[in-house]
């Protein structure tokens, strides 16, 4: 029995861990006071802030002009075509009898016909004035930015980005001015047609009256 117990003990690995072999973990060793680091604070120079504000204002005006030029010229053309057609229809109804006996009816129909074209022309002129004002403001802003980049170049942190945005604005302003000029020409064309139709109406009435008087000369 003693031999059996002895063999059993010898057949399994037996390790004796002494006090020196035990590893003790101290949780406090995992806690440490972080070393403070300096966080850099970047301040954009005032001149650069002002330049960006001017460029953003110009971009806003560019977008406004683009939207107006995209929508209004087509609407202006459609409204003027419709209005001028109504004016011509009134002229086609004018005859000697109407001029002599129903002149009030002619003038009433005429005032109704010209109301829309007059209103459309006034709105068109308003758009042109607004476009011109926006262009002047854009060019003024761009000029200021250009002067700032030239005079205070060393004060800028990212002058290349400012220059890139400046150039992009200049390109867009160039094309917007072309579109505005096209609309101005369109406006002048319709304004001339309106005046011509007004003249045609007056000429027709005067001609009918003159013919009647000639026909009934004593």
Every domain of the chain and the residues it spans:
46-215
What percentage of the chain reaches a pLDDT higher than 70? Answer: 80
> pLDDT category, 127, cuts 50, 70, 90?
very high
Mean pLDDT: which of 3-7, 29-33, 111-115 is highest? 111-115
Task: Return the SS3 of 15.
Answer: coil
Residues 12-68 have pLDDT tens digits of: 454 444 445 555 545 555 555 666 665 555 567 788 899 999 999 999 999 999 999
Give me the pLDDT at residue 32, please: 54
Give me the pLDDT at residue 217, please: 80
> pLDDT category, 7, cuts 50, 70, 90?
very low
Give me the pLDDT at residue 15, please: 43
117's CB contacts (< 8 A; 6+ apart) are 79, 80, 83, 84, 87, 194
Terminal C-alpha separation, the chain: 169
> pLDDT category, 105, cuts 50, 70, 90?
very high
Given phi > 0 = left and psi -120 to 50 = alpha, else beta, which region is 8?
Answer: alpha
Taking each helix axis from N to C end, the angle separating 46-92 and 103-151, rounded to the nearest 10 degrees, works out to 160
Give me the pLDDT at residue 215, please: 84
What average pLDDT does range 150-173 have in this prediction?
93
Find the helix or strand (DSSP H, E) in which 24 lies. none
Give me the pLDDT at residue 28, please: 57
b/e 184-217 (16+ beta carbons within 10 angstroms → b):
eeebeebeeebeebeeebeeebeebeeeeeeeee
Whether the predicted pLDDT of 153 surpasses 60: yes
């Amino acid at each position: 029995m003693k031999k059996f117990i002895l063999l059993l003990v010898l057949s399994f690995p037996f390790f004796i861990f002494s006090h020196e072999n035990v590893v003790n973990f101290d949780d406090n060793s995992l806690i440490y006071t972080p070393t403070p680091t300096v966080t850099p604070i970047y301040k954009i120079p005032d001149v650069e802030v002002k330049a960006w504000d001017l460029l953003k204002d110009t971009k806003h005006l560019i977008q406004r002009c683009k939207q107006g030029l995209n929508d209004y010229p087509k609407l202006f053309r459609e409204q003027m075509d419709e209005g001028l057609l109504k004016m011509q229809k009134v002229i086609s109804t004018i005859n000697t009898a109407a001029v002599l006996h129903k002149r009030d009816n002619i003038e009433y129909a005429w005032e109704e016909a010209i109301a829309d074209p007059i209103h459309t022309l006034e709105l068109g002129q308003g758009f042109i004035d607004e476009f011109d004002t926006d262009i002047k403001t854009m060019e003024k802003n761009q000029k200021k930015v250009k002067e700032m980049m030239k005079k205070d170049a060393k004060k800028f942190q990212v002058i290349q980005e400012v220059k890139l945005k400046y150039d992009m604005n200049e390109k867009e302003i160039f094309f917007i001015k072309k579109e505005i000029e096209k609309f101005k020409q369109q406006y002048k064309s319709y304004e001339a047609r309106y005046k011509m139709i007004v003249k045609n109406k007056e000429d027709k009435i005067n001609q009918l009256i003159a013919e009647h008087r000639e026909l009934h000369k004593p």
